Structure 1
Amino acid sequence: MDERQVSPRPENVLRDDPAKMTLLQAAAHVLRIRTNVTIIVASAIGYFFFAGLRTFGLVFVQERYGISRGELSTFLPVVGLAALSGVLVGGRLSDGLVRRGRRTARVTVPGVAFAASALLFVPGGFTRDPLIALPLFTLAAAALAAANPPLDAVRLDVVHFGLWGRAESIRTIVRMAAEAAAPVLFGWLSGRLGDGSGTATGLNRVFLLALPPLVVNGLMLVRARRSYPRDVASALESERRFGDGPSETST
């Protein structure tokens, strides 16, 4: 990415060698980077939803749509292939757009993907027809998966290469906390919101309640287009001061 026309954000340019920074100093620095904070929050929300879906999705589909285990075993590989396709398309699309001069594509693509995923889940959650719901859920899973590769790449763009490990540690801690909380919260809320006729109603309401945060995720990432170029420029300036980073930090 050519950042010659973008000025670095002074407070984000390193003044100390990252190799000599303590963990607290490194954490303070990476949490000053607006785009990095955005992707930490976005990753946590995305993995929170995915953890709840992974834990209760099969039970929900079986009970709400009356699908047998045999039918479900046929459907699962389709969802898996769709998610894999989403991962490949998300990474390729964002890199392709960056090469064409769309320098904020790595935050725009996951932003659109999160919003699209939520919008695809909504009609599936309001219908009891599996022939309508399951294709929509499959596309929603693909869109949700498509957000991850460009989102992971953003962290390489906005953080000095000497801080990648510590920056990822912070993001991983927040993400794992969200993943751990999701099954407990989804299970508790499904019991509170159910109508006593089974788990499907409660789970359906919980999944629908979890969709607005995905839309907010999308809006946050699209808005991050404002901070992203200057944060990339700041990382590049830091690398000029404290060594040349790997080529992945810019395109």
Structure 2
Amino acid sequence: MDFSTDNAVDGLEHLHQVSGSDGGAEDSPKRYTPLASDQGAAELNAGSPGIVSDISESTFSDGSALSPQKSQGYEADPAPAYYSYWTPPVYNPTVIDSFLTPSSSPQPRLTGTVDFLEVVKACVASAGRVVVLQQIKEDCFGCQISHPSQRQHACLYPPDPWFFSANFERLMGKVLTWEFVPALKNTLAKTGLDILEARVEGAADAFLYDLKNEENILEKVNEITCTYTAEKSEDLLDHFLSFWNP
């Protein structure tokens, strides 16, 4: 048997090709070496679930490149350790259905909020009625002449349709005096409600703009005030009008 040096070198090279450079197993995993661009993307996306940087140009230690499918995230294996993937939440029907099932216990009625809106609406309707009648009297030609021979007074008849909308700016100037919101708050306090001034003013503005859409304004405000006084008390509206004093 020839134990020459050439034969020994050939044997070592053959062993190196079979077992690898470190003498390990033939199926030892390849070491992934990202390029500089991959490292920058990994640092940028660190801690961001579901974001995978473009690794189409990355290579392994033996020079082989990642396939396009793996680089675009179509396959999860093999994946670098520092790349994070979003895991969908597990559906729990018990937790989800608990939010969809109505509670058997009765829900408390928002008495304070309902009463607050009812009071403001009735007071706004009362103020609207007062300023509409004032405006009709100011526009009445018979009242302007003020002579016994003048028998036809427009203020004795209902206003024209859409009167509130046509004279909205002038009527708003009469309603929104500096006493208006304090009068509303004082009236609400009389019922035991302490509401922020901004909420009171916002609700009053909303009801005033709602009256702008009424064709027969006096019929509407009379309906609102009569309904409220029938269910509650007329003294509350009288208190508001005396405090507001347009």
Q: Normalized against structure 1, the TM-score is what?
A: 0.28
The answer to which structure has the higher helix fraction is: 1
Q: Normalized against structure 2, the TM-score is what?
A: 0.28
Higher relative contact order (CA 8 A, sep 6+): 1
The structure that has the greater radius of gyration is: 2
